[in-house]
Structure 1
Amino acid sequence: MIKEAIEKILSLASINTATIGDQIFTNSDLRRVPDAVTDTLKVRNLQGIVDYLRNNFDSKMPVIVHVISPTQVNVVTGFNRDLNRSTLIEATALLPEIKFGWFYDIESFNILLQSCFVDTEQKQRILSIVGNVVDEKVVTVGDTGISQQVTAKAGIATVEPVVLPNPVHLKPYRTFVEIKQPESAFVFRMKDGPSAALFEADGGAWKLDAIEEIKLYFSKELEQLIADGHVVIVG
């Protein structure tokens, strides 16, 4: 009895491995050794992914560049023997906070437009309106009851009624700065105070445009790796 116990202890003390097919097992009960995993690298721009793949630092080619959304891109490996993928590096965009559908006071709205939107003709038009409002009242005009009108400065000593433009097409910073910010439609509204807000009005189509722009960016920056079959872009 004691001899058997000692032999059992000795058998457990040794580590034995066996390879069956392309899988590795260990010890007498042939438990399979899982693939090792590492922490995912995290960056804040698309260039970080480009630099990582061009240098092939971890020698993990071929890989898939998965454009998940306008604000997230992951680089993943092929399936390992456990039928899992490893996420090598992840890029998440650094973006300003923009609350669509939220009424800002005029000063805050002015700052928001200047700091968080690409400069365009329609942006300048809205800035001109909100920056020259002289009356806190916002009037509804038109047969539909939807159009709005405010009183704004028209010159040094004159004021006049101004009908708010709608819809307006603007380019807020909503995706990685390396690509062209997608333009989309917004409903521009004001209310007494005065205060102003922008409501998204394109049904989220801008997201598809942004994903296509990100894919185009990688197609250009990683052209040789793609041609060599080392990188596949999906999104």
Structure 2
Amino acid sequence: MGTNDSIVIIPTYNEKENIENIIRAVFSLEKQFDILIIEDNSPDGTAGIIRQMQQEFPDRLFMIERKGKLGLGTAYIAGFKWAIEQKYEFIFEMDADFSHNPNDLPRLYEKCAKEGYDAAIGSRYISGVNVVNWPMGRVLMSYFASKYVHIITGIPIHDTTAGFMCYRREVLETINLDKIRFKGYAFQIEMKFTAYKCGFKIAEVPVIFVNRRLGTSKMNSSIFGEAFFGVIQLKLFSLHHKYPQKKQA
């Protein structure tokens, strides 16, 4: 780790249209964030663009290259483990396609660094439905998916499927990352649920989610299927599982 206390993890697969712009947008912020790209062997040349940019930002831009598409969850877990080893204090999840606005990163950071929360969610649903350019069917599916998770698990979070997050390192060190089971959409639910069961304080920060303008969405119906049944599995597992608890100060 350099002098920065924060790192943004961005998984990529075929993001050549977006990757340079998202990196420059993050690096242009007044608050400094490092970036770790988890690159899943994109055939469109995404990795080559990142390598070129690493020459420009050798101390702030890092990349883990994998052999193929291994799932969103495994990408983030690989990134979490790397960031923990490097002793970053605040570890972020963010998409490459500008659906998450880089300008919101400092707001998530402040929730944890200044207001004392253990995790902060960039929430689409805490103040209404803040989604732009999604088909109505997808908006409804996502919104009611979060409601469904809330009803089944009891977790007090409006946007349980959000992929825009800040975690304190302690959260990721406490959760047994090797025991996180889901790889797709349900990964985000499982991480939030586990953090909540471990006793960590989670905040939601209202953000506006904008559907990607460039590149191709990775969402499909099987991802929603995993989430639907995965939530029931999470709840049943939690009934007889003892979660490690946050250390008291």
Which of structures 1 and 2 has the larger relative contact order (alpha carbons within 8 angstroms, sep 6+)? 2
Q: TM-score range by the shorter chain?
A: under 0.3
Q: Normalization by structure 2: what TM-score?
A: 0.20
Q: Normalization by structure 1: what TM-score?
A: 0.21
Identify, as 1 or 2, the structure richer in strand. 1
